[in-house]
Amino acid sequence: MNKRWERTEWFREARFGMFIHWGLYAIPARGEWVRSFEKLSNEAYEPYFREFNPDRYDPRAWAKAAKAAGQQYAVLTTKHHDGFCLFESEFTDYKASNSPAQRDLIKEYVEAFRDEGLKVGFYYSLIDWHHDDYPAYGDRIHPMRDNEAYQNRPIQFERYVDYLHAQVKELLTNYGEIDVMWFDFSYDDMTGEKWRATELVNLIRSLQPNIIIDNRLGGHIKAAEPEVYAGDFYSPEQILPPGGIVDENGLNVPWEACITLNDNWGYHAMDHAYKSPKQVVRALVECISKNGNLLLNVGPDARGEIPSQSLEILTAVGEWMRRNGESIYGCGAADLPKPEWGRYTQKGNMLYAHVLDRGIGPIYFQGLKGRIKKARLLADGSELKISMPWMAEQYSDIDSGAFIHLIGAELPDDMDT
Ligand code: JFZ
């Protein structure tokens, strides 16, 4: 079995994680790209650093919310594109301990989520709009892209790459065992060895042998000679891939769709376009039905609290997961065509039928004639009569505002697992 498949075993079991985008940008409250969109200079953005004091920051509450939602791991922004570090670093003054927060926010996050039994991940931005040696020339996203004086300043990009490597070493040395390293993002010619990615990944693997890394250093996860920095899982963003993700030999590659609860990653005071719990559950089921994970994002506010709308959705999803999580954790795609009425997930010889779009009349299980040993409704354990032509009778239309209900059909032992 290849190392990637071994390393990602817990990840493919966990299936559902919490993404957390949090930093200075929570104060302007217009999303984490506010510096770029509004072309804010370091000086214009400085007041937020001087003001950042998340007095209601309680990562234990975050961890409990994630656990109650059924999420098994979390990934928190240690540094986003604005360059502000939530962690203690000897290589910069632009960090939480130098702001009015005066604390190592990452240390508290790691301890709180570990205490709740969740796996812990770090997001780290390759892009850095604050660092003096990060280029703005020819850059379509840097806040100072139109400022000639800034563009023509003498920079030493290798000095920035040294800084990047040194901070990753701090993150993976000072906080115990870390489970996920989530880099973001390579673009245009800023990719791969521009970050000295092979050297970086070799460093990471020497510090944290069991860690899994995303694919955003710029490599390609393929069977034959993947780059050292190709990563362990693909990270489709705000999309659910049409099918699963496979390598050139058609073999499954681990992947994780990262999706926002509203329309922004970082806190946005005017963004009330929240997905419903049912939409989240449907997305989760779809990911697993295609052998993928879902990393669902929350953007805490400037005081350090997850928005109440987000918490309400997570609580509702958690109730569904409490009753139906068996059809998610450790499950993957079934070797069956997608049924009209929804999606299948499968684990071993247990098939889970997620009835998402209930039509008129009975539910048909095409291709399963003679292969269903028994069927139970996961939500309450009740028996479902499966009869010719392999339809579920007595399947009352229980879609009365409840979520998707499941039919856990235990298949004959001889079915290929
Ligand atoms: C990136 C970040 O820019 C964003 O703020 C958030 O952290 C998200 C999870 O990751 O979003 C991207 C990534 C890639 C591209 C654009 C935005 N891209 O390839 O154009």
Mean pLDDT of each 10-residue bin along the chain, 417 residues long? 90 98 98 97 97 98 98 99 98 98 98 98 98 84 90 93 98 98 94 97 98 96 93 98 94 97 98 95 96 98 98 96 94 93 91 83 77 82 68 41 50 47
Residue nearest atom 6 of ligand 1, based on CA coordinates: 265
Atom of ligand 1 nearest to the CA of 235: 9
- B/e letters for 166-191, b = 16+ CB within 10 Å, e = fewer, are ebbbbbbeebeebbbbbbbbbeeebb
**Residue nearest (by alpha carbon) to ligand 1 atom 15:** 185
Ligand 1 centre distance from Cα of residue 188 (Å): 13
Cβ(265) – ligand 1 distance below 6 Å:
yes
Q: Counting beta carbons within 10 angstroms of the beta carbon of residue 416, is it exposed (0 to 12), middle (13 to 18) or buried (19 or more)?
A: exposed
Ligand 1 test: best mutation among 35, 185, 295, most atoms within 8 Å of CB? 185
Name the closest-CA residue to atom 2, ligand 1.
184
Ligand 1 centre from 76 Cα, in Å?
A: 15
Over the Cα atoms of the chain, what is R_g? 23
Query: Is the pTM for the entire model greater than 0.90?
Result: yes
* Confidence (pLDDT) at 411: 59
> In the prediction, which pLDDT does 392 show?
47
Is 413 exposed, middle or buried, given 0-12, 13-18 or 19+ CB atoms closer than 10 A? exposed
| Residue ID of nearest Cα to ligand 1 atom 18 | 187
Q: Is 214 in the pocket of ligand 1 (CB under 6 A)?
A: no
Q: Is 69 left (phi over 0), alpha (psi -120 to 50) or beta?
A: alpha
- Pocket flag, ligand 1, residue 237 (CB < 6 Å): yes
Nearest alpha carbon to residue 138 among 125, 157, 123: 157
pLDDT of residue 322: 92
Q: Does residue 82's CB lie within 6 angstroms of at least one atom of ligand 1?
A: no
pLDDT of residue 398: 38
Residue 394 has a pLDDT of 38
Phi, psi of 415 (to 5 degrees): -75, 140
Q: Is 133 in the pocket of ligand 1 (CB under 6 A)?
A: no
Report which protein residue has its CA nearest ligand 1's atom 19.
187
Instruction: Return the pLDDT at 410.
Output: 60
User: Phi/psi zone of residue 188: left (φ > 0), alpha (ψ -120 to 50 degrees), beta?
Assistant: left
pLDDT value of residue 396: 40
Give the pLDDT confidence score for residue 69 in this predicted structure: 98
pLDDT score of 402: 38
Task: Tell me what ipTM this predicted complex has.
Answer: 0.98
